[in-house]
Amino acid sequence: MSAPPRHVLVTGAAGFIGMHAAERLLAAGAEVTGVDDFDPYYDVALKEARLARLAGRPRFRFVRADLAEEKDAAALFGDGGFTHVLHLAAQPGVRYSLVNPQAYVRNNLVAFGHVLDGCRRACVAHLVYASSSSVYGANHTLPYSEDQNVDHPVSFYAATKKANELMAHSYSHLYRLPTTGLRYFTVYGPWGRPDMSPSLFAQAILAGTPIRVFNHGTMRRDFTYVDDIVEGTILALERPPAGDAAPYAVYNIGNHEAVELETFIAILERSLGKKAIKEYALMQPGDVPATFAAIDRLAALTGFVPRTPLAEGLARFVDWYRAYYGRPAA
Protein backbone atom coordinates (compact mmCIF):
# COMPACT_ATOMS: atom_id res chain seq x y z
CA MET A 1 0.00 0.00 0.00
CA SER A 2 1.20 3.50 -0.75
CA ALA A 3 2.26 5.84 2.07
CA PRO A 4 -0.44 7.93 3.77
CA PRO A 5 -1.08 11.32 2.16
CA ARG A 6 1.17 14.00 3.62
CA HIS A 7 -1.17 16.96 4.07
CA VAL A 8 -4.89 16.46 3.54
CA LEU A 9 -7.52 19.18 3.46
CA VAL A 10 -10.79 17.72 4.80
CA THR A 11 -13.74 19.97 4.01
CA GLY A 12 -16.79 19.50 6.20
CA ALA A 13 -14.50 18.39 9.03
CA ALA A 14 -17.21 19.09 11.62
CA GLY A 15 -19.59 16.88 9.64
CA PHE A 16 -20.43 13.24 10.19
CA ILE A 17 -18.12 11.55 7.68
CA GLY A 18 -15.62 14.42 7.78
CA MET A 19 -14.87 14.04 11.50
CA HIS A 20 -14.41 10.27 11.22
CA ALA A 21 -12.19 10.67 8.13
CA ALA A 22 -10.01 13.28 9.83
CA GLU A 23 -9.58 10.99 12.85
CA ARG A 24 -8.52 8.11 10.62
CA LEU A 25 -6.08 10.24 8.64
CA LEU A 26 -4.48 11.59 11.81
CA ALA A 27 -4.13 8.06 13.17
CA ALA A 28 -2.36 7.11 9.94
CA GLY A 29 0.19 9.90 10.42
CA ALA A 30 -1.12 12.47 7.96
CA GLU A 31 -1.19 16.19 8.58
CA VAL A 32 -4.82 17.35 8.41
CA THR A 33 -6.38 20.75 7.90
CA GLY A 34 -10.11 20.77 8.56
CA VAL A 35 -12.49 23.40 7.26
CA ASP A 36 -16.16 23.99 8.06
CA ASP A 37 -18.58 26.92 8.16
CA PHE A 38 -21.00 25.43 10.75
CA ASP A 39 -24.03 25.82 8.53
CA PRO A 40 -27.16 25.69 10.75
CA TYR A 41 -29.01 23.17 8.55
CA TYR A 42 -28.93 20.97 11.65
CA ASP A 43 -27.82 21.39 15.26
CA VAL A 44 -24.55 23.33 15.31
CA ALA A 45 -23.81 22.00 18.81
CA LEU A 46 -23.39 18.52 17.34
CA LYS A 47 -20.90 19.88 14.82
CA GLU A 48 -19.00 21.66 17.58
CA ALA A 49 -18.89 18.45 19.63
CA ARG A 50 -17.47 16.57 16.66
CA LEU A 51 -14.81 19.20 16.11
CA ALA A 52 -13.89 19.06 19.82
CA ARG A 53 -12.76 15.47 19.21
CA LEU A 54 -10.18 16.76 16.72
CA ALA A 55 -9.12 20.02 18.33
CA GLY A 56 -5.72 20.00 19.99
CA ARG A 57 -4.49 16.85 18.31
CA PRO A 58 -0.97 16.89 16.87
CA ARG A 59 -0.87 17.60 13.11
CA PHE A 60 -4.43 18.99 13.07
CA ARG A 61 -5.48 22.57 12.48
CA PHE A 62 -8.91 24.02 11.83
CA VAL A 63 -10.00 26.87 9.58
CA ARG A 64 -13.49 28.31 9.77
CA ALA A 65 -14.39 29.30 6.22
CA ASP A 66 -17.29 29.32 3.77
CA LEU A 67 -16.16 27.62 0.55
CA ALA A 68 -18.99 29.25 -1.38
CA GLU A 69 -17.22 32.57 -0.77
CA GLU A 70 -14.50 32.95 -3.38
CA LYS A 71 -12.20 34.93 -1.11
CA ASP A 72 -12.41 32.30 1.67
CA ALA A 73 -11.62 29.47 -0.73
CA ALA A 74 -8.78 31.36 -2.38
CA ALA A 75 -7.19 32.18 0.99
CA LEU A 76 -7.50 28.58 2.17
CA PHE A 77 -5.81 27.10 -0.89
CA GLY A 78 -3.29 29.92 -1.18
CA ASP A 79 -2.00 29.31 2.34
CA GLY A 80 -2.54 25.57 2.68
CA GLY A 81 0.14 23.58 0.90
CA PHE A 82 -2.20 20.60 0.60
CA THR A 83 -1.07 17.47 -1.21
CA HIS A 84 -4.56 15.91 -1.19
CA VAL A 85 -8.12 17.17 -0.74
CA LEU A 86 -11.07 15.22 0.65
CA HIS A 87 -14.12 17.32 -0.15
CA LEU A 88 -17.04 16.27 2.05
CA ALA A 89 -18.63 19.67 2.69
CA ALA A 90 -22.03 19.91 1.00
CA GLN A 91 -25.68 20.66 1.50
CA PRO A 92 -27.14 17.20 2.25
CA GLY A 93 -30.66 15.87 2.15
CA VAL A 94 -33.08 14.94 -0.60
CA ARG A 95 -36.18 16.31 1.11
CA TYR A 96 -34.72 19.69 2.05
CA SER A 97 -33.84 20.26 -1.61
CA LEU A 98 -37.58 20.43 -2.30
CA VAL A 99 -37.99 23.53 -0.14
CA ASN A 100 -34.61 25.30 -0.38
CA PRO A 101 -32.96 24.49 -3.72
CA GLN A 102 -30.81 27.63 -3.59
CA ALA A 103 -28.87 26.17 -0.66
CA TYR A 104 -27.81 23.35 -2.99
CA VAL A 105 -26.79 25.75 -5.75
CA ARG A 106 -24.62 27.66 -3.32
CA ASN A 107 -23.13 24.85 -1.22
CA ASN A 108 -22.93 22.06 -3.81
CA LEU A 109 -22.22 23.89 -7.06
CA VAL A 110 -20.60 27.25 -6.29
CA ALA A 111 -18.50 25.87 -3.43
CA PHE A 112 -17.40 22.86 -5.48
CA GLY A 113 -16.34 25.14 -8.32
CA HIS A 114 -14.12 27.04 -5.89
CA VAL A 115 -12.65 23.77 -4.57
CA LEU A 116 -11.87 22.55 -8.08
CA ASP A 117 -10.12 25.76 -9.00
CA GLY A 118 -8.24 25.83 -5.71
CA CYS A 119 -6.99 22.29 -6.35
CA ARG A 120 -5.94 23.23 -9.88
CA ARG A 121 -4.01 26.30 -8.78
CA ALA A 122 -2.38 24.48 -5.88
CA CYS A 123 -1.40 21.48 -8.06
CA VAL A 124 -3.09 19.07 -5.63
CA ALA A 125 -2.10 15.44 -6.25
CA HIS A 126 -5.64 14.07 -5.83
CA LEU A 127 -9.11 15.42 -5.12
CA VAL A 128 -11.65 12.95 -3.73
CA TYR A 129 -15.18 14.29 -3.35
CA ALA A 130 -18.52 13.02 -2.09
CA SER A 131 -21.06 12.15 -4.72
CA SER A 132 -24.20 10.18 -3.83
CA SER A 133 -26.22 7.10 -4.63
CA SER A 134 -29.04 9.58 -5.32
CA VAL A 135 -27.59 10.17 -8.79
CA TYR A 136 -29.08 6.83 -9.88
CA GLY A 137 -32.55 8.39 -9.67
CA ALA A 138 -35.27 6.16 -11.05
CA ASN A 139 -32.94 3.36 -12.23
CA HIS A 140 -34.59 0.01 -11.58
CA THR A 141 -31.69 -2.36 -12.29
CA LEU A 142 -30.12 -3.49 -9.01
CA PRO A 143 -27.43 -3.42 -7.84
CA TYR A 144 -26.55 0.03 -9.14
CA SER A 145 -23.48 -0.03 -11.36
CA GLU A 146 -21.26 2.83 -12.45
CA ASP A 147 -22.10 1.82 -16.04
CA GLN A 148 -25.74 2.83 -15.63
CA ASN A 149 -27.08 6.06 -17.07
CA VAL A 150 -27.51 8.75 -14.40
CA ASP A 151 -28.89 11.55 -16.57
CA HIS A 152 -32.37 11.58 -14.99
CA PRO A 153 -32.14 12.62 -11.32
CA VAL A 154 -35.42 12.67 -9.37
CA SER A 155 -34.33 15.28 -6.81
CA PHE A 156 -32.47 18.56 -7.09
CA TYR A 157 -29.96 17.29 -4.54
CA ALA A 158 -29.15 14.41 -6.89
CA ALA A 159 -28.85 16.83 -9.81
CA THR A 160 -26.19 18.83 -7.97
CA LYS A 161 -24.22 15.68 -7.19
CA LYS A 162 -24.31 14.58 -10.82
CA ALA A 163 -23.22 18.11 -11.76
CA ASN A 164 -20.23 17.72 -9.41
CA GLU A 165 -19.14 14.64 -11.34
CA LEU A 166 -19.36 16.54 -14.64
CA MET A 167 -17.51 19.54 -13.24
CA ALA A 168 -14.75 17.29 -11.92
CA HIS A 169 -14.39 15.55 -15.26
CA SER A 170 -13.90 18.87 -17.04
CA TYR A 171 -11.07 19.85 -14.67
CA SER A 172 -9.49 16.42 -15.00
CA HIS A 173 -9.64 16.72 -18.78
CA LEU A 174 -8.55 20.33 -19.12
CA TYR A 175 -5.98 20.60 -16.34
CA ARG A 176 -4.96 16.98 -15.65
CA LEU A 177 -6.27 17.32 -12.08
CA PRO A 178 -6.75 13.79 -10.67
CA THR A 179 -10.30 13.54 -9.30
CA THR A 180 -12.33 10.70 -7.83
CA GLY A 181 -16.03 10.87 -7.01
CA LEU A 182 -17.41 8.45 -4.44
CA ARG A 183 -21.12 7.66 -4.61
CA TYR A 184 -21.96 7.14 -0.93
CA PHE A 185 -24.83 4.81 0.01
CA THR A 186 -26.82 5.60 3.22
CA VAL A 187 -24.05 6.07 5.78
CA TYR A 188 -24.91 5.55 9.46
CA GLY A 189 -23.12 5.23 12.78
CA PRO A 190 -22.00 7.20 15.86
CA TRP A 191 -22.07 10.99 15.47
CA GLY A 192 -24.57 10.66 12.61
CA ARG A 193 -26.76 13.49 11.38
CA PRO A 194 -29.98 14.11 13.34
CA ASP A 195 -32.04 14.37 10.14
CA MET A 196 -31.28 10.80 9.06
CA SER A 197 -33.38 7.75 9.85
CA PRO A 198 -31.29 6.19 12.68
CA SER A 199 -31.46 9.36 14.79
CA LEU A 200 -35.03 10.25 13.79
CA PHE A 201 -36.25 6.74 14.57
CA ALA A 202 -34.26 6.41 17.81
CA GLN A 203 -35.56 9.73 19.09
CA ALA A 204 -39.18 8.84 18.32
CA ILE A 205 -38.99 5.28 19.63
CA LEU A 206 -37.48 6.37 22.96
CA ALA A 207 -40.04 9.18 23.27
CA GLY A 208 -42.93 6.84 22.47
CA THR A 209 -44.01 8.88 19.45
CA PRO A 210 -44.76 7.46 15.99
CA ILE A 211 -42.10 7.04 13.34
CA ARG A 212 -43.06 7.78 9.74
CA VAL A 213 -42.41 4.76 7.53
CA PHE A 214 -42.49 5.91 3.92
CA ASN A 215 -43.75 3.89 0.95
CA HIS A 216 -45.64 1.76 3.48
CA GLY A 217 -42.37 0.14 4.52
CA THR A 218 -41.47 -1.29 1.12
CA MET A 219 -38.14 0.52 0.98
CA ARG A 220 -34.66 -0.98 0.76
CA ARG A 221 -31.42 0.77 1.55
CA ASP A 222 -27.74 -0.13 1.30
CA PHE A 223 -26.92 0.90 4.90
CA THR A 224 -23.16 1.36 5.25
CA TYR A 225 -21.38 1.77 8.57
CA VAL A 226 -19.30 4.93 8.81
CA ASP A 227 -16.01 3.15 9.65
CA ASP A 228 -16.33 1.08 6.48
CA ILE A 229 -17.09 4.19 4.42
CA VAL A 230 -14.06 5.99 5.83
CA GLU A 231 -11.78 3.03 5.17
CA GLY A 232 -12.84 2.89 1.52
CA THR A 233 -12.61 6.65 1.16
CA ILE A 234 -9.04 6.82 2.40
CA LEU A 235 -8.01 3.83 0.31
CA ALA A 236 -9.35 5.70 -2.73
CA LEU A 237 -7.58 8.90 -1.67
CA GLU A 238 -4.27 7.03 -1.78
CA ARG A 239 -4.87 5.90 -5.38
CA PRO A 240 -5.26 8.79 -7.80
CA PRO A 241 -6.61 7.83 -11.22
CA ALA A 242 -4.51 8.04 -14.33
CA GLY A 243 -5.58 8.24 -17.94
CA ASP A 244 -4.58 9.58 -21.32
CA ALA A 245 -7.79 11.59 -21.71
CA ALA A 246 -8.49 12.55 -18.11
CA PRO A 247 -7.30 11.31 -14.70
CA TYR A 248 -10.87 10.88 -13.52
CA ALA A 249 -12.88 8.16 -11.77
CA VAL A 250 -16.24 7.59 -10.09
CA TYR A 251 -16.92 4.65 -7.76
CA ASN A 252 -19.80 3.31 -5.74
CA ILE A 253 -19.01 2.88 -2.06
CA GLY A 254 -21.54 0.97 0.01
CA ASN A 255 -22.24 -2.21 1.91
CA HIS A 256 -23.38 -4.22 -1.15
CA GLU A 257 -26.50 -5.34 0.70
CA ALA A 258 -30.02 -3.96 0.26
CA VAL A 259 -31.86 -4.16 3.59
CA GLU A 260 -35.62 -3.87 3.95
CA LEU A 261 -36.65 -0.82 5.98
CA GLU A 262 -38.81 -3.02 8.21
CA THR A 263 -35.73 -5.16 8.96
CA PHE A 264 -33.71 -2.06 9.79
CA ILE A 265 -36.43 -0.88 12.19
CA ALA A 266 -36.65 -4.29 13.87
CA ILE A 267 -32.89 -4.37 14.51
CA LEU A 268 -32.99 -0.81 15.86
CA GLU A 269 -35.89 -1.77 18.16
CA ARG A 270 -33.85 -4.65 19.59
CA SER A 271 -30.85 -2.37 20.16
CA LEU A 272 -33.03 0.21 21.91
CA GLY A 273 -35.04 -2.37 23.83
CA LYS A 274 -38.31 -0.75 22.82
CA LYS A 275 -40.87 -1.21 20.06
CA ALA A 276 -41.65 1.48 17.51
CA ILE A 277 -45.06 2.99 16.90
CA LYS A 278 -45.27 2.99 13.12
CA GLU A 279 -47.16 5.46 11.00
CA TYR A 280 -47.15 4.37 7.37
CA ALA A 281 -47.00 7.01 4.65
CA LEU A 282 -46.67 7.40 0.89
CA MET A 283 -43.30 7.76 -0.85
CA GLN A 284 -41.76 11.19 -0.40
CA PRO A 285 -41.24 13.26 -3.58
CA GLY A 286 -37.66 12.90 -4.80
CA ASP A 287 -37.10 9.64 -2.92
CA VAL A 288 -36.48 6.20 -4.43
CA PRO A 289 -37.73 2.77 -3.30
CA ALA A 290 -34.35 1.03 -3.22
CA THR A 291 -30.59 1.58 -3.23
CA PHE A 292 -28.05 -1.21 -3.67
CA ALA A 293 -24.39 -0.71 -4.56
CA ALA A 294 -22.22 -2.78 -6.86
CA ILE A 295 -18.76 -2.19 -5.36
CA ASP A 296 -16.66 -4.42 -7.60
CA ARG A 297 -14.67 -1.57 -9.13
CA LEU A 298 -13.65 0.02 -5.85
CA ALA A 299 -12.83 -3.41 -4.44
CA ALA A 300 -10.63 -4.20 -7.45
CA LEU A 301 -8.79 -0.88 -7.09
CA THR A 302 -8.31 -0.84 -3.32
CA GLY A 303 -9.30 -4.18 -1.81
CA PHE A 304 -12.21 -2.45 -0.08
CA VAL A 305 -14.50 -4.84 1.79
CA PRO A 306 -17.26 -3.57 4.12
CA ARG A 307 -16.98 -5.52 7.37
CA THR A 308 -19.63 -4.25 9.79
CA PRO A 309 -22.95 -6.15 10.04
CA LEU A 310 -26.00 -3.94 10.44
CA ALA A 311 -26.84 -5.28 13.91
CA GLU A 312 -23.34 -4.52 15.15
CA GLY A 313 -23.26 -1.07 13.58
CA LEU A 314 -26.68 -0.11 14.96
CA ALA A 315 -25.68 -1.32 18.43
CA ARG A 316 -22.67 1.02 18.32
CA PHE A 317 -24.87 3.83 17.07
CA VAL A 318 -27.35 3.29 19.93
CA ASP A 319 -24.54 3.27 22.51
CA TRP A 320 -23.33 6.61 21.18
CA TYR A 321 -26.85 8.04 20.90
CA ARG A 322 -27.64 7.23 24.53
CA ALA A 323 -24.34 8.69 25.74
CA TYR A 324 -24.55 11.87 23.65
CA TYR A 325 -28.22 12.64 24.18
CA GLY A 326 -28.39 11.39 27.76
CA ARG A 327 -30.93 8.62 27.10
CA PRO A 328 -29.80 5.67 29.24
CA ALA A 329 -31.28 2.22 28.82
CA ALA A 330 -34.49 1.61 30.72
Q: For residue 123, is it within any domain? A: yes
Whether residues 249 and 261 fall in one domain: no
Note the pLDDT of residue 1.
Answer: 43
Whether residues 154 and 83 fall in one domain: yes
Whether residues 106 and 152 fall in one domain: yes
Whether residues 84 and 137 fall in one domain: yes
Is residue 133 a contact partner of residue 291, using CB atoms and an 8 Å limit?
Answer: yes
Please tell me which residue in 42, 129, 157, 248 is annotated as part of the active site. Answer: 157
The CATH number for 126's domain is 3.40.50.720
Give the mean pLDDT of 58-73: 97
Q: For residue 190, is it within any domain? A: no
Q: What tens digit of pLDDT does each residue of 76-115 get?
A: 999 889 999 999 999 999 999 999 999 999 999 999 999 9
Q: For residue 296, is it within any domain? A: no
Is residue 236 a contact partner of residue 26, using CB atoms and an 8 Å limit?
Answer: no
Is residue 16 a contact partner of residue 9, using CB atoms and an 8 Å limit?
Answer: no
Angle at alpha carbon of residue 31, lines to 29 and 33, rounded to 5°: 145
Whether residues 121 and 163 fall in one domain: yes
Give the mean pLDDT of 134-145: 89
Whether residues 169 and 143 fall in one domain: yes
Note the pLDDT of residue 244.
Answer: 80
Q: For residue 156, is it within any domain? A: yes
Burial class of 288 by CB neighbour count within 10 A (0 to 12, 13 to 18, 19+)? buried
pTM more than 0.85: yes
Whether residues 51 and 15 fall in one domain: yes
Q: For residue 139, is it within any domain? A: yes
Whether residues 141 and 105 fall in one domain: yes
Q: What tens digit of pLDDT does each residue of 195-247 get?
A: 999 999 999 999 999 999 987 777 889 999 999 999 999 999 999 998 788 99
Note the pLDDT of residue 76.
Answer: 97
Q: For residue 192, is it within any domain? A: no
Q: What tens digit of pLDDT does each residue of 266-286 get?
A: 999 999 999 999 999 888 776
Note the pLDDT of residue 287.
Answer: 73
The parent domain of residue 282 ranges over: 197-221+256-291+307-325
Whether residues 262 and 125 fall in one domain: no
Residue 136 bears catalytic tag: no
User: Domain count of the chain?
Assistant: 2
CA distance 139 to 150: 8
* pLDDT above 70 (res 4): no
Q: For residue 237, is it within any domain? A: yes
* pLDDT above 70 (res 17): yes
Whether residues 134 and 205 fall in one domain: no
* pLDDT above 80 (res 5): no
Amino acid found at 145? S
Note the pLDDT of residue 253.
Answer: 98
Whether residues 262 and 247 fall in one domain: no
The CATH number for 261's domain is 3.90.25.10
Whether residues 53 and 31 fall in one domain: yes
